[in-house]
Structure 1
Amino acid sequence: MMMLACEARDLVKVYGRGDTAVRALDGVSVGFPRAEFTAIMGPSGSGKSTLMHCLAGLDRATSGAVLLGDVDLSRQSDRVLTQVRRERIGFVFQAFNLLPQLTAAQNITLPLDLSGRKPDPALFGRLVDVLGLRDRLRHRPSELSGGQQQRVALARALISRPEAVFADEPTGNLDSRTGAEVLSFLRDAVREYGQTVVMVTHDPIAASYADRVVMLADGRISGEIMRPTRESVADALNQLAGAR
């Protein structure tokens, strides 16, 4: 039986009320197996980021359930959700969300510091070397480029070896070479550490690093691609665009 790291069950998310209500998610049911790399794709406004935020416990669904392992996040208090996010989830935001008063090194280890744990020196060293941060560890976010800040955010999401890592356009601010290195590292996190990675992306090349692609359209699951290639993903996106 396939073990799921996280799962959405009949997930509905509505923003606003009455005539101005927007149904961002419309009964989404999808599971994410442990130790698998999944990309979520779809046209703008399809619900990709909303689904990811609900899966990571950053946003509450209007109805339905979100499970992280055996924990139903939709039934937890804000205090419990904060603890679960800190100890079991890693998240890479588009806007980085680094603390400006902390150095790069301090931002990376922040999740561990908050939970009273010490970083694994070997993992910390590998992260900063692969992501090219060795000579930037004492710099604050204002002293880093956008790409460097994104790398710090990625290292922070991975340093605690969380069960599930959610990444919202993790290569959007990186050059192609660094982006490829980041995606390869996410693949390694799946293979070597058994982590589950869920990534929102619009880039068929980035999606080709995943084990599968889940396609969304108008807040619903519209299909999936196993063992995706750049070509198969691009074709699927073009079909979705033509159907709108």
Structure 2
Amino acid sequence: MTGERSAAARAVGATKVYGSGAAEVRAIDDVTIAFDAGRFTAIMGPSGAGKSTLMHCVAGLDTVSSGQVFVGDVELGSLSDRQLTVLRRERIGFVFQSFNLLPALDAEENITLPLTLAGTRPDRAWIDAVVATVGLGDRLSHRPAELSGGQRQRVAVARALASRPQIIFADEPTGNLDSRTGAEILTFLREAVDELGQTIVMVTHDPVAAAYADAAVFLADGRVRDRVEGPTARTVLDRMSAFEAETMGRSR
């Protein structure tokens, strides 16, 4: 736990095991971590460190083998499948590397889709603020095929923000974008935290992307190994290089 801030989501002793016996893999291993409300946190680590597994478990997209996961004060393991679906829809936003937009819907329809599915009337002032933040005002009537990759990811970010979720999880959100467009998306995520009060947790392997966050958490071998407040690309790169050297040293 950190400071006096409340946690938008947290894991307590979370372990995720795949397989059994000699084939057992602990993707995350006894992880306790809190993601503070109103902050931007990056999850980093080498390939296979457990970054996406941790995010998927905390976001309710996967279940832990043991331990607990909370979104706000709700323990996800206590929910039925239907309750979990409702919680994900109403309290969690998602941004994926592959955009995940519906091709038959225009940009505005994609943005408001979570609200449509929930049977909720959009808050027009909020949607307008989100659209302005991500710079999509002149593209709302365009379908995904008529948008660039960067514009599609902006739509995905706006969709994640549309329902004012308690927390947004972003899994390598700039992975399919060139560096300039990726920087635009990261700037939008940063502005969503600073100007709209959003909470964002982002899995990334990119030290430059992590530098947009308020804090970077480092995983290795399924465990939290370090945390850096106010990360820079250089401090992140140095930490990741140290982890890789440590991993290579153990494997010799």
TM-score, normalization: structure 1?
0.93
Secondary structure of the residue aligned to 1:136 is coil
**2:153–2:185 Cα contact (<8 Å) kept:** no
Quote the residue 1:179 is aligned against.
Answer: 182
Secondary structure of the residue aligned to 1:238 is helix
**1:128–1:155 Cα contact (<8 Å) kept:** yes
Matched, 1:41 2:44: yes
Q: CA deviation at 1:132?
A: 4.3
Matched, 1:3 2:10: no
Match of 1:146 among 138, 146, 149: 149
Q: Distance between the aligned counterparts of 2:187 and 2:72, measured in 1?
A: 25
Q: CA deviation at 1:109?
A: 0.5
Gaps of 5+ in 2: 248-252
Quote the residue 1:221 is aligned against.
Answer: 224
Match of 2:93 among 77, 82, 90: 90
Q: Distance between the aligned counterparts of 2:227 and 2:216, measured in 1?
A: 5
Secondary structure of the residue aligned to 1:105 is helix
Secondary structure of the residue aligned to 1:223 is strand
**1:212–1:226 Cα contact (<8 Å) kept:** yes
Matched, 1:100 2:103: yes
Q: Distance between the aligned counterparts of 1:135 and 1:33, measured in 2?
A: 34
Quote the residue 1:30 is aligned against.
Answer: 33
Quote the residue 1:67 is aligned against.
Answer: 70
**2:150–2:182 Cα contact (<8 Å) kept:** no
Matched, 1:190 2:193: yes
- Superposed, which structure 2 residues align to 1:157-176 within 5 Å? 157-176=160-179
Identity of aligned residues (%): 61
RMSD: 1.7
Secondary structure of the residue aligned to 2:217 is strand
Q: Distance between the aligned counterparts of 2:114 and 2:99, measured in 1?
A: 14
**1:130–1:181 Cα contact (<8 Å) kept:** no
Q: CA deviation at 1:77?
A: 0.9
CA-to-aligned-CA distance 1:150-171 (integer Å, 9 cap, x gap): 2221111011111101111112
Q: CA deviation at 1:145?
A: 3.5
Q: CA deviation at 1:12?
A: 0.7
Q: Distance between the aligned counterparts of 1:22 and 1:142, measured in 2?
A: 40
Aligned residues: 244
Q: CA deviation at 1:191?
A: 2.4
The residue type paired with residue 221 of structure 2 is: D
Q: CA deviation at 1:26?
A: 0.7
Quote the residue 1:155 is aligned against.
Answer: 158
Match of 2:84 among 81, 88, 91: 81
Matched, 1:16 2:16: no
**1:154–1:170 Cα contact (<8 Å) kept:** no
Gaps of 5+ in 1: none
Q: Distance between the aligned counterparts of 2:37 and 2:133, measured in 1?
A: 24
Quote the residue 1:120 is aligned against.
Answer: 123
Q: Distance between the aligned counterparts of 1:213 and 1:134, measured in 2?
A: 32
The residue type paired with residue 46 of structure 2 is: P
